[in-house]
Amino acid sequence: MTDRLRVLAVDDVAPALDEICALLADAPDVGHVARAGDAVEALRMIPAGSFDAVLLDITMPGMDGLELGGVLAAMANPPEIVFVTAFEEHAVAAYGLGAVDYLLKPVGADRLADALERVHRARAGRTASSSAPAPPDGAAGPPLPRVDELAVLPVELAGRTRYVRREDVRFVEAHGDYVRLHTPGGSHLVRIPLSRLEEHWDAHRFVRVHRSFLLYLPAVLELRSDAGGGLLAHTDAGDVPVSRRHARELRDQLMAAATSGALDPHATGAADDGGEGRGPR
């Protein structure tokens, strides 16, 4: 490799940080190694220096590695992110943030070399995209890559963090500054406004059906009437009230989705009451 990488390693455990920095210093692809003992220190260092990659531990006090990764991914010209952790279960969240690799401790030199090669390829792809000739006036250029920052949401409970994937959510219920994510396995409270979630999940078939509810369209098994004559959307995670102003729009969206085959089979769950099939009714 002709261009040697500038790398920042972040870990709150000093021996682990020493070990990864030593491996980086010995790597022929790395030209400069910097270190930070926590996410806040890393954020102070990143604007002052130009790093090609940041190697992040996940479990750190205060801002953890996934939260820092989300901040880095939102930058205009972000460094490539490689997570280095002892826990396998965070991989989905890590790749959802756009990480180029996910290393399990203890990290060997060969595995680190693979990760650094991925960093090189990712940086080369960014350079090629930025140096591509501009399209003629009036012509559309290739779409820019966009980090799907809310594909996975962290949920804090009794000092532990779980990660809920968007694809597992059937509907979302507003609770002030929080939302409750309803899945077939239970519900999870997350501090994020419903309006922000609607903005990010609108392109993923989540639709507003009530001032307090977002509904994943393919999760609807059937439409029902409640005791007061209102409309309910039935899912395998519970029933969702549909306001009168959204009822016609929801029926039209369900019909269009059913006609085009866009209703996702993964969200169907078990058969409905009485063995009736799925679909808008």
Band of the pLDDT at 47, cuts 50, 70, 90? confident
Q: Give the CATH number of domain 152-275; options: 3.30.360.10, 1.10.640.10, 2.40.50.1020, 1.20.58.220.
A: 2.40.50.1020
Is 268's pLDDT higher than 60? no
pLDDT beyond 50 at 221:
yes
List every span in the chain annotated with CATH 2.40.50.1020.
Answer: 152-275
| Nearest residue to 36 via CA among 16, 75, 26 | 16
Question: pTM of the entire structure?
Answer: 0.49
Residue 271's pLDDT band, with cuts at 50, 70 and 90, is very low
pLDDT higher than 70, residue 278:
no
Residue type, 56: L
Q: Which CATH superfamily is domain 5-128 in?
A: Response regulator (3.40.50.2300)
Q: What is the pLDDT of residue 70?
A: 86
User: Where does CATH 3.40.50.2300 sit in the chain?
Assistant: 5-128
Q: Is the pLDDT of residue 267 over 60?
A: no
Per the CB < 8 A criterion, the answer to whether 227 and 241 are in contact is: no
| Cα distance between residue 272 and residue 218, in whole Å | 15
Within 10 angstroms of residue 121's Cβ, the number of other Cβ atoms is 12
Q: Give kind and range of the element (H or E) at residue 131.
A: helix 109-131
